[in-house]
Amino acid sequence: MGNVIAVDSISKLVTDARKEIQGARSSAELDQLETKILGKRSLLAMAHRELGELDLEQRKEHGRQLHEARQAIEKIIEDKRADVSKREREQRLIAERVDLSEVITDEVRSTIGRGKLHVVTQTCDTLVDVFVGMGFVVEEGPEAETDWYNFEALNMPPAHPARSMWDTFYLELGEPESVVLRTHTSPVQIRLMEEAARKSSLPIHAVMPGRCYRTETPDARHLAVFHQIEGLVVDEAITFGDLAGTIETFTRAYFGDGIHSRLRPSYFPFTEPSAEFEITCTICRGDGCRTCSGTGWIELGGCGLVDPAVFDAVGIDSEEWSGFAFGFGIDRCAQMHYQIADMRSLTENDLRFMRRF
C-alpha cells in the first residue's frame, strides 16, 4: 500500500501538526510550516496521490478522512495566523511608540528642523508673564461678540459716532442684535465686570490677551487680524496715578532700562479721562529717528479711568468702585521689540523670517 498513511495514523497527523503550529512564533515561521504540512511535498499530499492504489471502498473512506484532516489543519493554521499577526501588530506599535521623555540632543535637533512658537505667541507669553508678575490674572473671551458687548456696554449706543473709530466685520446684521468679530479685547472687560457684579467678587485685576478683527487694508503698521492685550483694574479709590504707575512698571519690565512711558490726553468712549500711552522709541532710544518721526516717542496703546457709564451698564456701583483700563497691540509690541520694518511679515509665514525669532 506504498507510503499511504494508515487510517489510524491520520488523527496522529493532525495532533502532531497542531503541536508544531502552536509552537510557531512568527508569520514567516507559520508560512514555512504550512508548506511543510500541506504543500505538494507534504505527507498529506503524498497520501492523497497514492489513494489511486486503493480499491474503491477504501479510496472513498480514506479520501474523506484525508480531506477532513486537511480541513482541520487549515483551520488550526488560520486561527494561529490571526493570533500571531495580532501579536506582531502590537509589537510593532510598541516599537514605533514615541517616547515623550526622550532627551533630544543638539545634534539630532539640527537634523530635524524642530518647530517653535510664532513670534507673536512668544511676545504674548512674555507680556502675560510680566503682568502675572505684577499680580494680574489672565482672562479670555469669545472672538465673535454681540453688538452689546463690543459697543453698547462700552458706552457706544447704536449710531454713536465713535463706532466709526473701528472698521467692523459684521457676522449678522440687526434683529435681535448684530453679531460682530470683536474689534478690540474690551468686550472681555464687560464680561468680567458683569460676572464680578453678579457674584459680588470685586476687585478685579486682570489682563486679557486675544485676537481682534478690523476691516483694514493691511500695511506696514496695521493688520486686519491682529492681537491685543488689555488690562482692567476695578478696586476702591483707583486714581490716574495708579494707571500711570502700572504702565511705567510694565514698560520698564518688558522693554528694559532706558525705555519709559508717557501719557497724552486722548478720547475713548469707555474711559474718562482717556489717554494714549507712548514709550521711548526703541530704535533711537529717545534721540529721534525716522521711525518715531524725530520725536523720540512711539505710540503703543490707549488707556484711561473706567467711565461711570460703563460701570452702570454692567451693574457696578461707581460711587463705591473705580478702575482703569489699558490696551495695546501685541503685534505692534513685537514689531518694536524686534524692530520689524513691515508688520505684514508676521502673517506671510516666510520661514527665513520666522526663524529669526
Binding residues for Zn ion, rule: CB under 5 A, are 281, 283-284, 289, 291-292
- Which three three-digit cell numbers place residue 86? 495580532
Number of neighbouring beta carbons within 10 Å of residue 58: 14
180 vs 292 by CB, closer to Zn ion: 292
63 vs 288 by CB, closer to Zn ion: 288
162 vs 283 by CB, closer to Zn ion: 283
Shortest spacing between CB 279 and Zn ion, in angstroms:
11
216 vs 287 by CB, closer to Zn ion: 287
Shortest spacing between CB 284 and Zn ion, in angstroms:
3
What are the backbone dihedrals phi and psi of residue 153, each rounded to the nearest 5 degrees, phi first? -70, -20
Residue among 192, 195, 175, 187 at smallest CA distance from 143: 187
189 vs 251 by CB, closer to Zn ion: 251
Peptide linkage before 269 cis (omega within 30 of 0): no
Shortest spacing between CB 262 and Zn ion, in angstroms:
14
96 vs 257 by CB, closer to Zn ion: 257
Closest residue to Zn ion, judged by C-beta, is 281
Within the chain, residue ranges assigned H as helices are: 10-22, 27-38, 43-49, 56-96, 106-112, 119-133, 147-150, 186-199, 240-255, 308-314, 330-337, 351-354
For residue 107, the SS3 value is: helix
Shortest spacing between CB 286 and Zn ion, in angstroms:
7
Shortest spacing between CB 332 and Zn ion, in angstroms:
15
What are the backbone dihedrals phi and psi of residue 316, each rounded to the nearest 5 degrees, phi first? -110, 135
Shortest spacing between CB 195 and Zn ion, in angstroms:
42
In angstroms, rounded to a whole number, what is the distance separating the alpha carbons of residues 147 and 293?
Answer: 37
